[in-house]
Amino acid sequence: MRTLDVAPDEMVSDRLREELLAHVGVYGINVRRGGAKLILSREAPPAVHGAVDLSDRSWSRLIMDAMAVLTRTEDRVLRVSGSSLMDPNIVIEIVLEERPLRLAVVDFAGRIFVLSLLISLVTATLVFLTLQWMLVRPMRRITDSMTAFREDPEDAQRIFKPSHRTDEIGVAQRELTNMKGALRAALQQKAHLAALGTAVAKINHDLRGILSSALVVSDRLEGSEDPDVRRVKPTLVSAIDRAVGLCSDTLDYVRQEEITLRRERVALAPLVADVADGVAGSGGAETEIQNQVNNGLEVNGDRDQLFRVMTNLTRNAAEAGADHVCVTAKTQGDMVEIAIRDDGPGLPARAREKLFRPFEGSVRAGGTGLGLAIARELARNHGGLSLVDSSENGTEFRLTLPAS
């Protein structure tokens, strides 16, 4: 346009016109300024196949046009119009081929692709190194420590020192270290208790034999005519019986291994009747066991183990001084809840706090508390055993079993 402005009468020669058009790479230029129009065109311009107006183009439309240029294969001639960047009042139209424009767009897209690829590679490398340093290495350290700890849990050298990180990885390291320390201490305590249990079992076995011999000897005192001997004989026999019972309970608890269930359909009412007969035959004849379980109610479990559990509970009630023990059962969904209620004096507060702890939860003087501890272990394999209530009006236990 500046060339036309400085040309005489705004006219240029044919040679200059061709040079100008060839330099710009277009077939024609049309400049409208106010009411004036300047035209620079070849003598025989080609036919125009499309028009593009750049005065009002959104970015989405420009992207769509660029994609159309990239995908179009035929050669076209376009008329492109738009306002001048130097003077918005000047409108410029040019006629040009689309092919050079497509080649330029393809070249620009290729350079953008290469640049984007380089940026992606650099970003991916930084992300990889960051993840490797911040996540992968700490997690590998945690997994290696867990594997080493599994091979030898009692080796203190296999407990690694956690870092000072405050994120989730640091919390996981510290919690894992604490868990390993607690587990190692528990394993050591278990090993010590196992050794102690073996020693106690051996001592109790020998002591039980000695007490049995003493019981046989005490039976010979039955025919003694000495009034002092006849007076102390029941006390002596009772003490020996208690000592033998303590040895038997301790041996049963120490020898107890993983309990294997032999599940079957167990009729509950006959089971309670057998329990009542067993308790009456073992010295609990003064206590009435009321069997209020509906006939036909069945549970799924090991009959022998259930017999032991209910015998322990009813015998404890009889030994505590209960006159009546009532056994009822009801179905709750797919479980059966068995309530064992007595009218005894109830459990002391100290006994309730340590009820199922061996050697701590006994109510009777001289008792070991092993009966309830073993009963709870047996019941846990079926469903559960819990203390529902205990007061001066009596005590109630609840045994939960799967329905048949």
pLDDT in tens, 231-266: 777 777 666 666 766 666 666 665 555 556 788 899
- Residue 125: pLDDT band (50, 70, 90) is very high
- Residue 122: pLDDT band (50, 70, 90) is very high
pLDDT tens readout for residues 274-327: 888 888 766 656 788 899 999 889 998 888 888 888 888 888 888 888 889 999
| pTM across the whole model | 0.45
Check residues 145 and 27 and name the one with the higher pLDDT.
Answer: 145
Structure tokens of 293?
A: 């379980």
CATH code for the part of the protein at 264-402: 3.30.565.10
Most confident stretch, 103-107, 124-128, 249-253, 389-393: 124-128
The answer to whether 360 and 354 are in contact (CB under 8 A) is: yes
- Section 373-386 average pLDDT: 79
Q: Indicate if the pLDDT at residue 333 is higher than 80.
A: yes
pLDDT tens readout for residues 131-140: 998 888 888 8
Provide, rounded to the nearest whole percent, the portion of the chain with pLDDT above 90: 13
Q: Indicate if the pLDDT at residue 360 is higher than 70.
A: no
pLDDT tens readout for residues 73-89: 777 888 887 777 777 77
Domain borders along the chain are 2-108, 168-255, 264-402
CB count in 10 Å sphere of residue 317: 26
pLDDT tens readout for residues 205-230: 677 677 677 767 666 666 667 777 66
pLDDT on residue 291:
92
pLDDT on residue 362:
57
Domains 168-255 and 264-402 share a fold: no
Check residues 363 and 61 and name the one with the higher pLDDT.
Answer: 61
The answer to whether 363 and 353 are in contact (CB under 8 A) is: no
Topology of the domain covering 168-255 = Helix Hairpins (1.10.287)
- Section 124-151 average pLDDT: 87
CA distance 165 to 46: 73
**Alpha-carbon distances, residue 240 vs 29, 235, 236, 237, 281 (angstroms):** 126, 9, 6, 5, 20
**Alpha-carbon distances, residue 140 vs 62, 126, 147, 302, 350 (angstroms):** 50, 20, 10, 46, 49
pLDDT tens readout for residues 177-203: 888 888 888 877 777 667 666 766 666
pLDDT on residue 134:
86
